[in-house]
Chains A and B, each alone.
Chain A
Amino acid sequence: EAQVTQNPRYLITVTGKKLTVTCSQNMNHEYMSWYRQDPGLGLRQIYYSMNVEVTDKGDVPEGYKVSRKEKRNFPLILESPSPNQTSLYFCASTFPGSTEAFFGQGTRLTVV
Chain B
Amino acid sequence: AQKVTQAQTEISVVEKEDVTLDCVYETRDTTYYLFWYKQPPSGELVFLIRRNSFDEQNEISGRYSWNFQKSTSSFNFTITASQVVDSAVYFCALSEAPTQGGSEKLVFGKGTKLTVNP
| Residues of chain A at the chain B interface (Cβ within 8 Å) | 31, 33, 35, 40-45, 48, 50, 56, 58-59, 88, 90, 92, 94, 96-97, 99-103, 105-106, 108
Contact = CB atoms under 8 A, between A and B. Distances in A.
Contacts of A42: 4, 91, 108-111
A102 B101 CA distance: 20
A28 B110 CA distance: 30
16 contacts: A33-B105, A35-B108, A40-B110, A42-B4, A42-B91, A42-B110, A42-B111, A43-B108, A45-B106, A56-B103, A88-B43, A99-B33, A99-B95, A100-B35, A103-B45, A108-B43
Contacts of B111: 42
Contacts, number: 59
A100 B47 contact: yes
Contacts of B45: 90, 103, 106
A111 B67 CA distance: 41
Interface size class of B (residues with CB under 8 A): 20 to 34
A58 B106 CA distance: 10
A96 B44 CA distance: 23
Contacts of B97: 99
Interface of B: 4, 9, 33, 35, 43-45, 47, 50, 91, 93, 95, 97-98, 101, 103-106, 108-111
Nearest to B9: A40
B25 to A, nearest CB: 13
B44 A101 contact: no
A35 B103 CA distance: 14
The SS class assigned to the B binding surface is loop
Nearest to B109: A42
A104 B33 CA distance: 21
Contact of B106 (A40, A56, A101): A101
Given A48-B105, A94-B104, A99-B104, A105 B91 contact: no
Contacts of B33: 99
Contacts of B108: 35, 42-44
Given A99-B97, A105-B44, A41 B110 contact: yes
Contacts of A35: 106, 108
